[in-house]
Amino acid sequence: DAKTTQPPSMDCAEGRAANLPCNHSTISGNEYVYWYRQIHSQGPQYIIHGLKNNETNEMASLIITEDRKSSTLILPHATLRDTAVYYCIVRGLSGSARQLTFGSGTQLTVLP
Amino acid sequence: EADIYQTPRYLVIGTGKKITLECSQTMGHDKMYWYQQDPGMELHLIHYSYGVNSTEKGDLSSESTVSRIRTEHFPLTLESARPSHTSQYLCASSEGDYTDTQYFGPGTRLTVL
């Protein structure tokens, strides 16, 4: 799986959009971009994933650049409960067991 | 929201005790996983199951064992707990389709004294 690079930390004001960047310059054509988050001491929570096109669900939007070398996770109206470590990972199509490797992620702190 | 459950959420036990960590999912997923994670550290896959009666060890060696007798149930057992087993244990499941998104339970935080 391709390596990703994320800023170690970001702050966001409550109610504003949180834009979390991720670089994945070595991504290959059949690899998906996944985002998870982990609130302290809890299990990781799946947020969203995409291949080429921008994606949106009830939690967030995922914007993937045309060359697919980077992406941005957007939380449109951040709340205090969105404070967590956010992980961007790149994964190939899985036909067998595949460990999730999160890396260091971005600590997002939503400020009141 | 994924329907995957783990019990207990917290467990403190003495050395030498046998324990079983429970994991259940109601999504009918074929694949299930057990990860071990220390605070602030990376996830480590310790067990994996493709389906009923199919289990494999993960990348991180573990003294624990697992069983998969029913699709929805994937318990992890430690025959004789030691302080080195103190960690958070996370269970996950995936549908096994082309995206293979893994959904996690809340975790069990185990402390062995």
DSSP string, A15-59: TS-EEEEEE-TT--TTEEEEEEEE-TTS--EEEEEESSS-EE-SS
pLDDT score for A95: 46
Asked whether residue B71 carries a pLDDT value surpassing 90, the answer given is: yes
- Look up residue A30 and give its amino acid: N
> Cα–Cα distance between A79 and A72 in angstroms, integer?
18
Is the N-terminal amide bond of A21 cis, ω within 30° of 0? Answer: no
Q: Once rounded to an integer, what is the mean pLDDT over residues B78-93?
A: 95
Q: How many CB pairs under 8 A join A and B?
A: 54
- Token pair of A21 as six digits: 């960047």
Residue whose C-alpha is closest to residue B70's, from B55, B92, B91: B55
Q: Is residue A7 very low, low, confident or very high in pLDDT (cuts 50, 70, 90)?
A: very high
Give the model's pLDDT for residue A1: 63
Q: How many CB atoms lie within 10 A of CB B104?
A: 23
Strand ranges inside B1-113, DSSP E: 4-7, 10-13, 19-25, 31-37, 44-51, 54-57, 65-66, 76-78, 87-94, 102-104, 108-112
Q: Which of A34, A40, A45, A46 to mutate to test the interface with B (most CBs of B within 10 A)?
A: A46
CA distance B24 to chain A (A): 14
Instruction: Flag whether pLDDT at A27 surpasses 80.
Output: yes
Is pLDDT above 90 for A91?
no
Return mean pLDDT, chain A. Answer: 91
Decide: B9 and B108 in contact? Cβ < 8 Å.
yes
**Nearest-neighbour CA in chain B from A19: distance (Å):** 22
Rounded CA gap, A46 and A23, in Å?
A: 19
pLDDT at B58: 85
What tokens appear for A33 in the block?
């971009």
Sheet holding B76-78, edge to edge: B4-7, B19-25, B76-78, B65-66
How many residues in chain B? 113
Which positions in chain B touch A102 (Cβ < 8 Å)? 42-43
Q: Which two tokens stand for residue A29?
A: 């054509």
Give the pLDDT band (50/70/90) at residue A30: confident
- Considering chain B, what is the average pLDDT of its residues? 91
Q: How far is A98 from chain B (nearest CA, A)?
A: 9
pLDDT of B113: 95
Mean pLDDT, range A16-31, rounded to an integer: 93
Per-residue pLDDT band for B2 (boundaries 50, 70, 90) equals low
